[in-house]
Every structure is written in structure tokens, then in C-alpha cells.
Amino acid sequence: MGVIRGKKICRFCENKVTMINYKDERILKRFTNERGKIIPRRVTGNCAMHQRKLTTAIKRGRVLAIVAFAAESYR
């Protein structure tokens, strides 16, 4: 049997973050896996509003080459 965990709490709501900055590489990399994919909400525990803002920020960061589209070893 697996371990039963409590409900995940959105870390952005917990810290009362209103805006997720696309220039903050450290936060954006935390929510992408090693292949560069965005980690889903059910895994991270983010609320819907912050997950949407996070996704937009990651996509903007990718366009400006702050965050990689895919890992270099993926090819």
C-alpha cells in the first residue's frame, strides 16, 4: 500500500505571491522536469490560477531563452 498524504498546498498562495516573473529562472526551473516539460498541477500542488500564471511565465521565458525548450541531451 502507498502512503496517504494530505492535500497539497499551493506555495504561491501560501507566500501570498501575486505575480510570477518570467525572468526568475530559479523558480521556473523548479516547475519543469529534466526534459523541459512543465510539471502538472496535480504533482506540484499549485492552484489553478497560479498554475496558469506559471505556465505563461515558463512559455515567455522559453521564447526569451531564459528557460530551455528541451534538455540538451534529449536529441
With a cut of 90, say whether residue 7 has pLDDT above it.
Answer: no
CATH number, domain containing residue 19: 4.10.640.10
The three cell numbers of residue 4 are 496517504
pLDDT at residue 50, rounded to an integer: 96
What's the chain's average pLDDT?
Answer: 90
- pLDDT band at 2, cuts 50/70/90? confident
Domain membership of residue 5 (yes or no) is no
Report the run of H or E that residue 35 belongs to, with start and end.
none
Q: Looking at the 3D structure of the chain, how many domains does it have? A: 1
Domain membership of residue 1 (yes or no) is no
Domain membership of residue 38 (yes or no) is yes
Percentage of residues in the chain having pLDDT higher than 90: 71
